[in-house]
Amino acid sequence: MDAQNDLLSTDIEAYLKQHEQKSLLRFITCGSVDDGKSTLIGRLLYDSRMIFEDQLAALEADSKKMGTQGQNIDFALLVDGLAAEREQGITIDVAYRFFATEKRKFIVADTPGHEQYTRNMVTGASTADVAIILIDARRGVLTQTRRHSYLASLVGIRNVVLAINKMDLVNYSQDVFNRILGDYMNFASGLSLENIVAIPMSALAGDNITEKSGNTPWYMGQPLLSHLETVETKTVDRTAAFRMPVQWVNRPNQDFRGFSGLIAAGSVKPGDVVRVMPSGRESQVSRVFLDGDMPFAVAGQSVTISLEDEVDCSRGDVLTGVDDPIEVSDQFEVTIVWMNETAMLPGRSYLLKLGAKTVVASVTALKHKVNVNTLEQVASKQLAMNEIGLCNLSLAQPVAFDAYDKNRQTGGFILIDRFTNETVAAGTIHFALRRAQNIHWQAMEVDRAARAGQKDQKAFVLWFTGLSGAGKSTIANIVERRLFELGKHSTMLDGDNVRHRLNRDLGFTDGDRVENIRRVGEVARLMTDAGLIVLVSFISPFRSERQMARELLPEGEFLEVFIDTPLAVAEERDPKGLYKKARRGEIKNFTGISSPYEAPEDPEIRLDTTALTPEQAAAQIIDALEQRGLLRGAGL
Amino acid sequence: MADLKTLFRRSGKRQREIAEAVGRSEGAVSQWVNGDREIPADLVLKVEEFTGIPRHHLRPDLWEKTMPNAVDEAILAAPDLTHLQRLEAESIHIMREVAAEAERPVMLYSIGKDSAVMLHLAMKAFAPGKPPFPLLHVNTTWKFHEMIGFRDQRVKDLGLELHEWINQDGIARGINPFDHGGAYTDIMKTEALKAALDHFGYDVAFGGARRDEEKSRAKERIFSFRSPGHRWDPKSQRPELWNLYNTRKNKGETIRVFPLSNWTELDIWQYIYKESIPIVPLYYAAKRPVVEYNGMTVMVDDERMRIPDGQKPEMKSIRFRTLGCYPLTGAVESEADTLPEIIQEMLLTTTSERQGRAIDKDSAASMEKKKQEGYF
């Protein structure tokens, strides 16, 4: 710092020049609660003189008020910024801090130790080059140490600093240090971490942080800060194949059309041949620029590229080099970190965002989840919050991708809940499953329009949803009788009946309910292919699955009929005696009692059965179908 | 491969401009463009520089085309990206995501140095076009006069659209920074901002806040969601992985987006210096009339300033580290009137940036609370 300060006061221009050339290192600190993460960061900021006097005065006052360190400064208070954190003395969310030395600029993500905030830890880790994993020398390797090491490895961090902290409390014992290091290496051998450096330290006392400590003469390595200044990160390989996800098509006028994005790998220059993926069209780069033309651009830069030819290219496509083309698929094996209170259910559809592309996706199989303490594989039907699983994923359309190991930007994705819009998972792609290419669609000569036309009708699905006892089947039966009288060809899929046959292997867990609806949706679709009007009478409690069924059919051929009966009324009717059993606890997962019912937000038809007789309700449905022109002949 | 005529057309430069730039007649340029005559060898690089058309297109007989897709020496030899280059790329990426996914985005422009950098980055992100969103300035009517002059000039120079929003109800009620303290900020800034966003129906608003400014900012995501009442809930922030931003919002929700999240005060100044970005002259030291008010040195920007009894405005060489409402913004005594001197002074100084603002002083958690209520 001193040489830097000299230059600062004597030759500011030279100082600025020097500072401008600094590289950037992003790291995270993680580990268990009370291992001293926040204290370590506070110490780094303090020792690199990034704390201003007024902040220091406020810190001293706060430290005395909180009284955690007696009369000494509590560095953790510098970092824990949310009121709840300061009250509870824990870190809830990632805090980003900034400091610089003569050699490098640093962005630190201080990540929470508590298991329920794992998703915040992953948020911090996803952009880090190095992970500092703290261990309390008195307690050794703990669950959180293992969890965070595994997560760090999972998001692609290869450099780890094992900071064995609070050495002052174990008399700077080399034996303790060696034992913990041994334990850790034993565990870490199962992970893909490449460069693990262990440092004995005391963040509170300042041992081996910025300078080598006299208290650990047996330690031959560098203090933490020197290590961070010099550690080699996997710098972006400029010889790698070019990748740029297209974020934005820049078309300010007729004469200009450019493709904007952040280069994810390799380099690009005018004259290079590039391919637009997934379409595969090729062209030559005519210009590379930002606010002026550039002779070339490399990974990590945001640029705009224009091409020689008018090729079709839009947001979500990827511009790639031709030597090592990117893969394209709609089926993947992936690892998923689940981050939402609502568990992940195979079969439910989510939105997947990869690069600038967002597509509908669903987990087709959960192969196993991972016990992060032992790295054991455990069979499971769902993934709960903070659980990690190996899954097969199926997308509604093919996307361009790389394996995550090869590139974080083109191989990492998030999953978004389609109704709450929350980010529910982070995932990494391992490889494409070839199945998609191996099953071909059999082209049909007689198609669905032809089959419906032969019956002189329009095929569609009437999807009745509502609580048990709402009156779905009663009303559906009347409607089908009316259709029959009108000369229409129809069929009925009833929840109870289907569960006796096709779906007799399914129970009533959330996961089984999703699969139940998926199968019924597919069957209904096949029957409309055959030209039939299909009446589906299912409780179908979840919005996601009804949406999924809707999307199986062409626009306008899926009509959601909400039989709206309040729970109290349905329970009062209780035609099958099921509510009574559920209330006595004899039926688990009963919709409305012990399992939720998500009412439709915008059904095509809504019927209030407290105000209508079943006959009136059925008549309203027939009216609605006529208004929509669905009861006319196929040709009209 | 496009012909030379097309390349010239795509370059967006008129023949007259090219002629001027390289010191030849318009007729000569016309002959080059139509392929009637070759561009003289000594002018090729000048033309390339001005039009952006690569030399191997201008005179293929003289300049060999670089091998397509071969990574040339220059690329391998170029130094690693600097931290400023990486920050710039990140900010631009964020802005483009918003432009692509938001329905009605807007950029909050508060005229200060952070806004200056944010605007400069937006111009880069969408060049040669203009940013596909307007600017919004919430004017408390107590901003320094020089700020408003600078704002109007800047918007005119860049050819952008700016909406100004003033809380007329607050004006009618005579709300002012002298008599109404915290309520003033709340009514003229926070409430005004919320009203402006609601009025125009903006769903995503860029703000120039940085994580190094203050502790609760350090915890805020780049895409920060606000409930229908514009409240921030720090306990339920969405995970934000890699550079994948989930911009999907529920009914009534809006998003504040902070493209400068990872910049520090030094980065901002250094970038302004490196890119020669215009800033309000108040950042530079000059003799200005000041009084001592509320423990701060305050500039007498107009006749509305309530000069404490017994004081007379004194001319002092001062400058400002942050710019806001003039009665609430403390000046520092300084002689620094160049950018390097300002940066030098900032680095040698021992108080943090926000100290010049009255708003943060109340309590450690005050900013978190203000933000929960909708302060930017």
| B218 — pLDDT class (breaks 50, 70, 90) | confident
B173 and B142 within one domain: yes
Which chain A residue's Cα is nearest to B126?
A: A250
Interface pTM, i.e. ipTM: 0.78
Which chain B residue's Cα is nearest to A264?
A: B243
The residue annotated as part of the active site, out of A540, A544, A594, A595, is: A540
- Of A230, A265, A290, the residue that ends a domain is A230
H or E element at residue A515: helix A510-529
| B350 — pLDDT class (breaks 50, 70, 90) | low
Whether A23 is a known active-site residue: answer no
Cβ–Cβ below 8 Å for B10 and A256: yes
Q: Is residue A549 part of a domain?
A: yes
Closest CA to A480 of A426, A441, A537: A537
Q: pLDDT higher for A3 or B188?
A: B188
| B364 — pLDDT class (breaks 50, 70, 90) | very low
Q: At what angle do helices A2-10 and B339-348 cross, to 10 degrees?
A: 140
Supply A283's token pair: 């062209």
Number of domains comprising chain B: 3
B133 and B22 within one domain: no
A204 and A181 within one domain: yes
Task: Name A202's bridge partners.
Answer: A207
Residue A171, phi then psi, degrees to nearest 5: 55, 35
Spatial separation of the C-alpha atoms in residues A69 and A59, rounded to whole Å: 12
Name the residue among A52, A94, A422 with its Cβ closest to that of B351.
A52
Q: Is residue A103 part of a domain?
A: yes
Spatial separation of the C-alpha atoms in residues A111 and A126, rounded to whole Å: 11
Spatial separation of the C-alpha atoms in residues A75 and A69, rounded to whole Å: 9
In the predicted model, what is the mean pLDDT of residues B49-67?
A: 74
Cβ–Cβ below 8 Å for A291 and B123: yes
Q: Is residue A152 part of a domain?
A: yes
Whether the pLDDT of residue B351 is over 70: the answer is no
Q: pLDDT higher for B349 or A302?
A: A302
Residue A422, phi then psi, degrees to nearest 5: -80, 155
CATH number of the domain residue A171 falls in: 3.40.50.300
pLDDT score, position B256: 95
Show the low-confidence residues of chain A (pLDDT under 70). 1-5, 33-34, 49-56, 66-73, 76-92, 113-116, 234-237, 435-445, 634-636
- DSSP-derived secondary structure for A176-234: HHHHHHHHHHHHHTTS---EEEEEE-BTTTTBTSSS--TT-TT--S--HHHHHHHPPP-
Q: B227 contacts in A (CB within 8 Å)?
A: none
B136 and B159 within one domain: yes
Cβ–Cβ below 8 Å for B74 and A302: no
For residue A542, the tally of other CB atoms under 10 A from its CB is 22
**CA of A2, closest CA in chain B: separation in Å?**
12
Give B130-180 pLDDT, tens digit per residue: 999 999 999 999 999 999 999 999 999 999 999 999 999 999 999 999 988
Strand A357-371 versus strand A376-378 pairing type: antiparallel
* Surface-to-core class of residue B312, CB atoms within 10 Å of its CB (0-12 exposed, 13-18 middle, 19+ buried): exposed
Cβ–Cβ below 8 Å for B75 and A255: no
Q: Is residue B374 part of a domain?
A: no
Cβ–Cβ below 8 Å for A423 and B241: yes
Q: Is residue A302 part of a domain?
A: yes
Spatial separation of the C-alpha atoms in residues B61 and B75, rounded to whole Å: 24
CA dihedral sign of residues A600, A605, A610, A613 = negative
Q: Is residue B36 part of a domain?
A: yes
Kindly report the average pLDDT of chain A as a whole number: 86
pLDDT score, position B147: 96
Cβ–Cβ below 8 Å for B242 and A412: yes
Q: Is residue A443 part of a domain?
A: no
A183 and A310 within one domain: no
Q: How many CA atoms lie within 13 A of B291 on its CB side?
A: 18
Which chain B residue's Cα is nearest to A412?
A: B242
pLDDT score, position B248: 94
- Of B236, B264, B292, the residue that ends a domain is B264
**CA of A633, closest CA in chain B: separation in Å?**
40
> Which residues of A define the annotated binding site for GTP?
31-38, 110-114, 165-168
CA dihedral B220→B221→B226→B230, nearest 10 degrees, is 40
Q: B243 contacts in A (CB within 8 Å)?
A: 127, 262, 409
Whether the pLDDT of residue B357 is over 60: the answer is no
For residue A239, the tally of other CB atoms under 10 A from its CB is 10
B102 and B217 within one domain: yes
- Of A384, A411, A438, the residue that ends a domain is A438
Give A600-622 pLDDT, tens digit per residue: 988 999 999 888 999 999 999 99
- Residue A416 lies in domain: 327-438
- Of B74, B109, B136, the residue that ends a domain is B74
- Residue B226 lies in domain: 86-264
Give B95-116 pLDDT, tens digit per residue: 999 999 999 999 999 999 999 9
pLDDT score, position A66: 66
Q: Minimum mean pLDDT among A107-111, A578-582, B294-298, B363-367: which range?
A: B363-367
Q: At what angle do helices B15-22 and B26-33 cross, to 10 degrees?
A: 120
